[in-house]
């Protein structure tokens, strides 16, 4: 057994990437993808060497208090992974932050380029050597590592408007419409409530929930095989979205900031998508028969 282990170690040493090349996947590897293809990976040591990290103090909405992190400027991290983003921005591309648990938060390139964005890789007050020292976060009290996007400016402290993903595993660059082609209420006139609701769904819901099999996977699918509006009343659905903890113990956040009109528009979007179902799982089962 010992000789086999030695042989395997030697083989791995021969095929290990040279310094400066794409890192092999690991627990602290951050992947950069363009249209679903990995173009670069960086582990934490490589990131620290390349980005000139700083210690930043953040009024953190998930911890609920001021926290200090060792972090790299988000704009620098994006440049390390993708190079110049001007062409991508002019072409309408967006950035998608993908966490380990299936959470996917989209954001415009203009938003992620705003000053004050940081990619945190360690808790500055708890780090010990190679241990990043992460303090458990949020209601679930989970480890936020290996990476956590945080924002320094007070105007960006709303996680509904700015990306604050933790347990970050990958940053993707691509087209929203190509990545998720079956979630728009096509065929409905522009300016209709369903389109306003679609914009709210993009901003508030898609990071956790899928529509027609597209979107986040941390929360339940909302349209197939049955739409949420097919088995919940409108009043109950709106009340649940606004204050889910009043119904059951859940990790779903409250949305008390949404107005009655916004909730009406969101339900209008759900109702529109009820008539625009696309079920990839059903299609795969039918094809397998």
Strand partners, 67: 58
Q: Given pLDDT bands bounded at 50, 70 and 90, which one contains residue 9?
A: very low
**Which of 23, 35, 20, 41 is CA-nearest to residue 170?**
41
125 DSSP assignment: T
Give the pLDDT of residue 118.
Answer: 98
Residue 6 lies in a domain: no
Cα-only R_g, the chain? 21
> How many structural domains comprise the chain?
2
Determine the structural domain holding residue 60 and report its residue range.
19-178
Task: For residues 188 and 84, state if they share a domain.
Answer: no
Task: For residues 89 and 189, state if they share a domain.
Answer: no
User: CA 197, CA 185: separation in Å to the nearest integer?
Assistant: 10
**pTM passes above 0.75:** yes
Q: 178, 198, 214: which is the final residue of a domain?
A: 178
Q: Given pLDDT bands bounded at 50, 70 and 90, which one contains residue 25?
A: low
Task: Give the mean pLDDT of the chain.
Answer: 90
Give the pLDDT of residue 11.
Answer: 35
User: CA 235, CA 240: separation in Å to the nearest integer?
Assistant: 9
Give the pLDDT of residue 26.
Answer: 67
Give the pLDDT of residue 289.
Answer: 75
pLDDT digits (tens, 9 = 90+) for 237-286: 999 999 999 999 888 999 999 999 999 999 999 999 999 999 998 878 88
Residue bearing the bigger pLDDT, 27 or 14? 27
Task: For residues 194 and 161, state if they share a domain.
Answer: no
Task: For residues 160 and 205, state if they share a domain.
Answer: no
Place of tokens 């940053």: 171
Residue 244 lies in a domain: yes
| Phi–psi pair at 33, nearest 5 degrees | -125, 140
25 DSSP assignment: P
């Amino acid at each position: 057994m010992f000789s086999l282990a030695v042989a395997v170690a030697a083989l791995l040493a021969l095929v290990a990437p040279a310094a400066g090349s794409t890192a092999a996947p690991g627990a602290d590897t951050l992947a950069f993808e363009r249209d679903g293809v990995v173009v670069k990976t960086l582990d934490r040591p490589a990131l620290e060497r390349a980005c000139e990290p700083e210690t930043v103090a953040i009024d953190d909405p998930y911890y609920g208090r001021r926290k200090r992190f060792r972090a790299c400027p988000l704009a620098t991290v994006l440049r390390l992974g993708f190079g110049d983003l001007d062409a991508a921005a002019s072409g309408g591309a967006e950035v998608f932050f993908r966490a380990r648990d299936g959470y996917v938060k989209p954001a415009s390139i203009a938003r992620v380029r705003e000053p004050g964005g940081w990619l945190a890789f360690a808790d500055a007050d708890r780090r010990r050597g190679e241990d990043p020292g992460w303090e458990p976060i949020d209601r679930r009290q989970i480890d936020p590592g290996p990476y956590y996007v945080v924002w320094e400016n007070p105007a960006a402290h709303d996680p509904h408007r700015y990306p604050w993903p933790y347990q970050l595993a990958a940053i993707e660059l691509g087209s929203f419409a190509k990545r998720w082609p079956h979630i728009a209420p096509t065929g409905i006139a522009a300016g209709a409530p369903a389109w306003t609701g679609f914009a709210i769904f993009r901003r508030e819901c898609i990071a956790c929930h899928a529509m027609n099999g597209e979107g986040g996977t941390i929360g339940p699918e909302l349209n197939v095989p049955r739409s949420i509006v097919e088995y919940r009343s409108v009043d109950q659905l709106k009340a649940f979205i606004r204050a889910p903890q009043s119904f059951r113990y859940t990790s779903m956040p409250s949305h008390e900031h949404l107005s009655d009109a916004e909730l009406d528009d969101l339900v209008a979007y759900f109702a529109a998508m009820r008539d625009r179902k696309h079920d990839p799982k059903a299609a795969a089962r039918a094809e397998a028969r």
